[in-house]
Amino acid sequence: MSSYGALYEFTEEGMNAFRRVMAEGLDETTLDLANPLIAARIAGTTSFDARRFATSKEMAQAIISAAGQASVGDLLTREGLWAWLSFVMRDQLYSRMADGRRRLGEVHKWYPAPLNDFQKGQRHLVRTPVLLLSRLGRNADHLLCGDPAVAGELREQLTSQQDMFHPAFQEVARTLYYDEQTGKLRRGAGGKGRGSSRRLAAVRLQLDVTWDLFAITPSELLEKLPEEFENFRRHSVNHGDPAATSAAARESDSSLQPAAQGV
């Protein structure tokens, strides 16, 4: 574990060196984090321990805590910070292969794109969990319960459109797919099966044609989902998830049925 007195961000020179180290295999020791020409301390932030985190949520909580007096919203736009964090946590996030090279995957998982570049900016393994937790709180549990090194299919499916970053939609997704007792995803949440996260993303687009999904409650949205989601709804009610319990207690409104049919 490496400890730092504050959060830092790579300078322009540091970003260039970071890219060369990660993409070109330059010796990692050449990236001197103590050199102010490479990395600059971010005012107002506090100590950060680059330890091995069990989940993406645990990692995001540690980073938000280290933000201290700095605005998390401001930090999200600082690409140098997310590159620095990628580097100091590289051993967990980007493990080595047999030949010594790191498993980097797609470039924007480690080299942060601008935050306003929605398609690329949301792929970063460190910034995206912080973004989700800061905006959604507990309604990001289903998106952040896995290993920080793996974004996972469910996160990719349920954050692929910008309007999915709405608390009501993500509360419904959490209700369906997150097991409160185990802290893990329910079986079948990923993949292409009935009621899966991929199906929820598709159904959302179709319901959005008829309903203003941001003007209804999570319980109402849960009610509008077609029968294929019933297995997940039933498990949610049994485990006492608030949105599902509320939805189960309401009588079905027959006027909503046409919107759900054929989805």
So where are the chain's domains? 1-138, 152-263
Q: Are 196 and 189 contacting, i.e. CB atoms less than 8 angstroms apart?
A: yes
Q: Are 31 and 17 contacting, i.e. CB atoms less than 8 angstroms apart?
A: yes
CA distance 141 to 248: 22
CA distance 211 to 110: 37
Neighbours of 43 (CB within 10 A): 10
Non-local CB neighbours of 180 within 8 Å, separated by 6+ positions: 239, 240, 241
Burial class (CB in 10 A: 0-12, 13-18, 19+), 57: buried
CA distance 202 to 262: 12
Query: If DSSP codes are grouped into helix, strand and coil, which group holds residue 158?
Result: helix
Would you state the pLDDT for residue 207? 87
pTM (predicted TM-score): 0.87
Would you state the pLDDT for residue 100? 87
Q: What are the start-end ranges of the E strands in 6-117?
A: 8-10, 39-41, 48-50
Would you state the pLDDT for residue 1? 75
Both ends of the chain: CA-CA distance in Å? 49
pLDDT in tens, the chain (263 residues): 799 999 999 999 999 999 999 999 889 998 999 999 999 999 999 999 999 999 999 999 999 999 999 999 999 999 999 999 999 999 999 999 998 889 999 999 999 999 988 888 889 999 999 999 999 999 999 999 999 999 999 999 999 888 888 899 999 999 999 999 999 999 999 988 999 999 999 999 888 888 887 788 999 999 999 999 999 988 766 555 655 545 444 433 433 333 333 44
Closest of 38, 41, 104, 28 to residue 70, by C-alpha: 41
What's the gap between Cα 241 and its chain centre? 21
CA distance 126 to 249: 39
Would you state the pLDDT for residue 257? 38
Q: Are 196 and 186 contacting, i.e. CB atoms less than 8 angstroms apart?
A: no
